[in-house]
Amino acid sequence: MLILNIKKPISLLSFLLFAFSGYAQQMGTDEQKSMEKSNAAFKSFKGGVTGLKGPGLNLSSEKMQWWEDAKFGMFIHWGLYAIPATGEWTMFNQKIPAETYAKLADQFNPKSFNASDWAQIAKSSGMKYMVMVARHHDGFAMWNSPSSYRHFNTMETAAHCDFVAGYTAACRKAGLGVGIYYSPMDWRFPGYFDPKGLPESAAAMKEQAYGQVEELMKNYGKIDILWYDGGWLAHKGGDADAAWLWEPLKLNAMVRKYQPDVVINPRSGMFGDFQVNEGPAEVKGPIIDIPWEKCLNLNGSSWGFNKTQQLMSLKSIIQMLVNVVDRGGNMLLNVGPNQDGVIPSSHAARLKEVGNWLKINGESIYATRPGPFQPIDSLYGSTHKEKIIYVHLLNSASITATLSLPAVESKILSCTILGGGKVKFKQNREGVTLKINTDQLNPAVTTFALKLK
Ligand code: FHN
């Protein structure tokens, strides 16, 4: 029996995360760097260039509409790392030799895997698309992958099953957008850690990546989202800095040959059809006028299944979703099924509660666009669609008896709370004032619908 539980003191960042966001990631140093480099790219994007651009490789805004209307998706980190239950970076953080780690595949034979259950949980929580990890940094492929280095995949090991096939079929059948996550980096290759010093090993890793991306884009029907992760080399620099090895314009030209309309993120080193902001940090600041996505964990301990459970509260999930959508983004919320492929019932229950809020407030989220009011951090934000402006009031101590909003040119005919009653309001050239009755407020976020003439 393989024992893998070396206790590591939580890092300063994890403590700060705990202090400021109420839950901690048990992250290793490079794992933290991995998240920070992605957010550095997001920040620098606002200031300019991130990722290589090539003719015809990015989608038009028309082709991005469905994604920008969808707003909310399920991220799924599932693989061998669900067995030790200490997160998807277990192999690296615990310095487990590849040969030793590979033995986990002999134990990976999930009897209760049922992707339709995953899809139902996603639908009942109001999610419109899913993104499943097909291969993470540990190299283990969750599908029948002839390109897999050393046949390290679920078809040629104990499970003898193609989980990507099951997932894509169930997701599509449920009417959800089908997304696939792929990590070009693979810790099993020494060339990953020294690509210039060990060029053959780096080239073999690249060859595997091209072969596997082609398999995923060719063998599973229409794929709607391709979510690369881990373009950076030797845990250094950014994804775009590794373009000399991955040649992302060549790689994604191949992808578009099979999947012309697939939405591609920015982590292959190519300019993304959307940008990514990762982690639990609260979303603040003005509306961002480019397609972007916030990805974070429902269970704060790690992306992969973890025996340490720190579930996000319902309030923090709904407030995160609203803060993201009011600033023009989508939210990709992650679950980590256990080694049998089951999403823990407590996670499914929490997501169902989010779905209940969206049943009432969904019209202020789906297919809306941010504004017209710029958000006030930790107080309110807005979206609009056709002749309605939606104001999302975050339930916080700073709420008073009235809410002052900027002026609106069109005449407001009525103001109501979604799922609630009428609201008194005043409108003049200076602005709009809503009369707030705290008894009517939702413990997380209350949506005011301003119907315009
Ligand atoms: O290193 C990965 C991590 O394990 C996880 O997959 C996240 C998900 O966005 N991405 C990387 C960290 O940025």
**Using one digit for the tens of pLDDT, what is the confidence trace for 186-218?**
999 999 999 999 999 999 999 999 999 999 999
> Pairing between strand 425-428 and 431-435?
antiparallel
Q: Contact at 8 Å (CB) between 179 and 225? A: yes
DSSP string, 14-59: HHHHHHHHS------HHHHHHHHHHHHHHHHHHHS--SB--TT-S-
Q: Are 23 and 300 in contact (CB under 8 A)?
A: yes
Counts of helices then strands in the chain (DSSP H, E): 14, 16
With a Cβ cut-off of 6 Å, ligand 1 is lined by: 31, 34-35, 38, 88-89, 229, 278, 295, 303
Distance from the alpha carbon of residue 437 to the mean position of ligand 1, in angstroms: 42
130 CA to centre of ligand 1 in angstroms: 16
CA angle 227, 40, 248 (to 5 degrees): 40
Place of tokens 């609009």: 384
Q: What percent of the chain has pLDDT over 90?
A: 84
pLDDT number for residue 11: 47
User: Which of 136, 225, 226, 229 has the most ligand 1 atoms within 8 A of CB, as the residue to mutate?
Assistant: 229
Whether residue 5 is predicted with pLDDT greater than 70 in this model: the reply is no
* Per-state percent for the chain, helix, strand, coil, to nearest 5: 35, 20, 45
Taking the whole predicted model, whether its pTM rises above 0.85 is answered as yes
Q: What is the pLDDT of residues 222-239, one digit of tens each?
A: 999 999 999 989 998 888
Residue 290 in this model has a pLDDT that exceeds 90: yes
Computed over every residue of the chain, the mean pLDDT equals 92
pLDDT band at 45 (very low <50, low <70, confident <90, very high): low
Please report the beta strands in 136-271, taking only residues with DSSP state E, as ranges in sequence order. 177-182, 225-228, 263-264
Provide mean pLDDT across the span 52-73.
97
**Distance of CA 97 from the midpoint of ligand 1 (Å):** 21
Using 50, 70 and 90 to split pLDDT, how confident is the model at 41? low
Give residue 164's pLDDT: 98
Give the Å distance between the CA of 414 and the centre of ligand 1: 45
Q: And the tokens for 168?
A: 């894509």
* Residues counted in the chain: 453
Dist. CA 51 → ligand 1 center (Å): 18
Indicate whether 352 pLDDT > 90.
yes
Q: How confident is the model at residue 443 (pLDDT cuts 50, 70, 90)?
A: very high
Ligand 1 pocket mutation pick from 34, 91, 136, 185 by most atoms within 8 angstroms of CB: 34
Atom from ligand 1 closest to the CA of residue 87: 4
CA distance 295 to 73: 9
Query: Confidence class of residue 255 from pLDDT cuts 50, 70 and 90?
Result: very high
Instruction: Please state, in angstroms and as integers, the Cα–Cα distance from residue 428 to each residue in 399, 406, 410, 446, following that order.
Output: 22, 10, 11, 23
Two tokens, residue 104: 């986990």
Residue 178 has pLDDT above 80, yes or no: yes
pLDDT digits (tens, 9 = 90+) for 98-128: 999 999 999 999 989 999 999 999 999 999 9
